[in-house]
Each structure stands twice: as C-alpha cells, then as structure tokens.
Amino acid sequence: MNMTEKAKEYILNALEESNVDTLRFYGIAGCCGMNLAVGLEPAKEGDQIEIVNDVKIAIMPKMAKELQGVTINIEEQNGEVGLVLDGYTPGCGC
C-alpha cells in the first residue's frame, strides 16, 4: 500500500480534527460478501497495523489482500475532496 503526499496531508488533518490517530480499513457485509469500508477510528483487536507515509493504518485481516498494490490518493469533485484508492478493484459491483 502506498499514499500520495496530498492524501497524507488530507488524512493527517482529518485525524487531528477527529482526535483519532488511525485510518481503518474494514469489511461490511454486502450482496457479494464483504465490501471495503474506511473510517477514522481506532484499530480493532486482530487488525494489521501499518505505517504508510507516516500515517497509522489498521486493516481488518479479511480485507488486506484487496488492498495490496493500492495507492491512497485524493480527488476533488464539485468542490468536495475525498479519498480514492488507485488500483483498487471492488467486488461484484452489485
């Protein structure tokens, strides 16, 4: 997993505003199994912890394979900024 400098800045600001120190990737039940979700929240027991570009990231083990080779980036659309995962291919798309 990689992260652009712009994403790092955006995430670190969001973490500071939320008084949290971790970006967490986890799975939620969907029509085709687990769907990837992300939040500004503490790691849960069993999460894999990585430091990517000085950002602490927790990953639910079941979702780790989906995030291999992904670059965390940001994009702006209609004046709104959000995270994107370059190289991520979602599940079935239902």
Which residue did the predictor score with more confidence, 89 or 58? 58
Superfamily covering domain 2-86:
HesB-like domain (2.60.300.12)
CB 25 within 8 A of CB 63: yes
Against a cut of 0.85, is the pTM above it?
yes
**Is the model's pLDDT at 86 over the cut of 70?**
yes
SS (H, E, C) 34-50: EEEEEEECCCCCCCEEE
Can you name the residues that pair with 83 across neighbouring β-strands?
Answer: 74
DSSP secondary-structure letter at 3?
E
pLDDT digits (tens, 9 = 90+) for 7-48: 999 999 999 999 999 999 999 987 777 789 999 999 999 999
